[in-house]
Amino acid sequence: ETGVTQTPRHLVMGMTNKKSLKCEQHLGHNAMYWYKQSAKKPLELMFVYSLEERVENNSVPSRFSPECPNSSHLFLHLHTLQPEDSALYLCASSQEGMGQPQHFGDGTRLSIL
């Protein structure tokens, strides 16, 4: 496989469930990102990992918990979510350094019941 792969593609969960989103990149990149895409809003950067270290947490509620065990994998652990958390969650990766383009996965469509 090549590029950035996200699983699952669709997820429906109740507010009390715990689930995880997975992202895997096969591009040899060393920075990874989580974004939230809601209807009629710009993409919101949630988390940034560079060399497996979290370098940005953009005021994201604690019910979202990222994990980056190595430079190829990124997880977003979800618990006790709210209906307003329903959105498309996009993962991206890039090489470190200014001007390096980010490569995106196809996203996980999350619906909270």
Partner 1 sequence: AQSVTQPDIHITVSEGASLELRCNYSYGATPYLFWYVQSPGQGLQLLLKYFSGDTLVQGIKGFEAEFKRSQSSFNLRKPSVHWSDAAEYFCAVGGLIQGAQKLVFGQGTRLTINP
Task: Please give the residue ranges that form the binding site for partner 1 (CB under 8 A).
Answer: 4, 6, 31, 33, 40-43, 45, 48-51, 55-56, 90, 92, 94, 96-107
Nearer to partner 1 (CB atom), residue 73 or residue 79: 73
Nearer to partner 1 (CB atom), residue 28 or residue 101: 101
Residue 59 CB, nearest approach to partner 1 (Å)? 14
Q: Which two tokens stand for residue 23?
A: 């992202």
How many angstroms separate the CA atoms of 59 and 44, rounded?
Answer: 11
Letter for the amino acid at 41? Answer: K
User: Could you tell me if 102 and 110 are in contact, meaning their C-beta atoms sit under 8 angstroms apart?
Assistant: no
